[in-house]
């Protein structure tokens, strides 16, 4: 009697447990696993001569445009249902792709069996959020601002020198301006080998060695750029720097 009661309790509890367990799909991972064989996923995308499919960024921007999606809840009412349906039952008629692209790529082969409707919900949600026009524009603007900086400053930004240095203010280490003005500076050898105790104010701080980080040419560029700051007055705008 007691034993049967126990089994019942177990059944009820495990039953409850099962029905409340929802699988959490990872849209990003699924997109990479299931769609990257044909669609380039980068934003902005790499371009190849023999693409099998339009890049995912182009697909999403294009769908948002053609579905005239203006509000984010249309992600659920329009975008996700379309992707779920199209990927499982694609056709020339349903496609928002123009004639020319359909000719180039052919209609997408149905992914039935490769991906489930629930997985597609997570994939489509991720696609909608990740391929965002505004984020893309902002990234492009930041990138072109970055590309317009002097090469030496680009190297400094990419290597994290600003964690310890500033152009005009002393920080963990001396400002680049005061380094440029210093009589016994050894810019290239200090960057390569590191240094401690050379600057009195910073005697308990250390400049790490960046031994094989830079080519000879890059070291020269760094030296020239730092030297060019000897007479700067203004603090340069940090907006770009903060964005990297």
202 vs 240, beta carbon nearer ligand HEC: 202
186 binds ligand HEC (CB under 6 A): yes
- Buried b / exposed e across 184-204, counting CB within 10 Å, b at 16+? ebebeebbbeebeeebeebee
State the Cα angle at 198 between 195 and 202, rounded to 5°. Answer: 90
219 binds ligand HEC (CB under 6 A): no
187 binds ligand HEC (CB under 6 A): yes
| Per-residue contact string for residues 155-174; x = within reach of ligand HEC by CB under 6 A | -x--xxx-xxx------xxx
65 vs 72, beta carbon nearer ligand HEC: 65
229 binds ligand HEC (CB under 6 A): no
Among 40, 54, 122, 177, indicate the residue that binds ligand HEC (CB under 6 A): 54
Shortest distance (Å) from residue 134 CB to ligand HEC: 20
State the Cα angle at 16 between 13 and 17, rounded to 5°. Answer: 85
Shortest distance (Å) from residue 79 CB to ligand HEC: 9
The answer to whether 178 and 169 have CB atoms below 8 angstroms apart is no
**CA–centroid distance for 128 within its chain:** 15
Paired strand residues for 195: 207
190 binds ligand HEC (CB under 6 A): yes
# residues near ligand HEC by CB under 6 A = 57
101 vs 136, beta carbon nearer ligand HEC: 101
Check whether the bond before 115 is cis (ω within 30° of 0): no
> Please, which of residues 4-43 interact with ligand HEC by CB under 6 A?
34-35, 37-39
Among 40, 55, 57, 59, indicate the residue that binds ligand HEC (CB under 6 A): 59
108 binds ligand HEC (CB under 6 A): yes
Which positions lie near ligand HEC, rule CB under 6 A?
Answer: 34-35, 37-39, 52-54, 59, 62-63, 83, 86-87, 90, 95-97, 102, 105-109, 111, 115, 123, 156, 159-161, 163-165, 172-174, 179, 182, 185-187, 190-191, 195-199, 202, 205-208, 210, 222, 226
């Amino acid at each position: 009697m007691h034993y049967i009661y126990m089994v019942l309790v177990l059944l009820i509890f495990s039953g409850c447990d099962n029905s409340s367990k929802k699988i959490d799909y990872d849209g990003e991972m699924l997109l990479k696993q299931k769609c990257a064989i044909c669609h380039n996923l980068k934003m902005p995308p790499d371009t190849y001569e023999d693409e099998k499919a339009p890049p995912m960024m182009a697909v999403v921007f294009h769908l948002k445009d053609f579905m005239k999606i203006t509000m984010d809840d249309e992600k659920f009412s329009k975008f996700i249902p379309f992707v779920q349906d199209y990927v499982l039952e694609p056709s020339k008629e349903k496609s928002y792709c123009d004639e020319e692209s359909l000719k180039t790529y052919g209609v997408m082969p149905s992914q039935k069996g490769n991906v489930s409707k629930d997985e597609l919900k997570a994939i489509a949600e991720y696609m909608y959020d990740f391929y965002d026009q505004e984020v893309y524009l902002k990234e492009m603007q930041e990138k072109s601002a970055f590309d317009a900086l002097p090469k030496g400053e680009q190297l400094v930004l990419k290597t994290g020198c600003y964690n310890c240095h500033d152009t005009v203010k002393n920080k963990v280490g001396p400002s680049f301006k005061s380094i440029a003005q210093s009589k016994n500076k050894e810019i290239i050898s200090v960057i390569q080998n590191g240094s401690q105790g050379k600057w009195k104010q910073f005697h308990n701080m250390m400049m790490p060695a960046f031994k094989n980080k830079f080519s000879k040419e890059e070291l020269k560029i760094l030296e020239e750029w730092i030297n060019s700051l000897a007479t700067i007055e203004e603090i340069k705008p940090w907006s770009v720097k903060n964005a990297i």
